[in-house]
């Protein structure tokens, strides 16, 4: 589990002068969970052989 201080550190950084060129970003703080399932075709890993057979025609 993440800690509140991690979000506070990010907020502090984004408010400081060192982050002046960062804009319009989405920052995901989830310990890498998003990266594990990132990508628009990840659902293909969960398909059964029957699903693949149905898609073939």
Which residues in 10-48 are b (16+ Cβ under 10 Å) and which e?
A: eeeeeeeeeeeeeeeeeeeeeeeeeeeeeeeeeeeeeee
pLDDT averaged over every residue in the chain: 87
pLDDT band per the 50, 70, 90 thresholds, residue 33:
confident
What per-residue confidence (pLDDT) applies to 15? 94
Domain that holds residue 17: 4-55
pLDDT band per the 50, 70, 90 thresholds, residue 7:
very high
Would the pTM of this model clear 0.85, i.e. be above it?
A: no
Domain count for the chain, please give it: 1
């Amino acid at each position: 589990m993440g800690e509140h201080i991690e979000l506070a550190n990010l907020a502090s950084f984004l408010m400081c002068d060192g982050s002046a060129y960062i804009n319009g970003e989405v920052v995901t703080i989830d310990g890498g969970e998003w990266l594990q399932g990132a990508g628009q075709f990840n659902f293909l890993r969960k398909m059964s052989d029957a699903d693949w057979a149905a898609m073939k025609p």
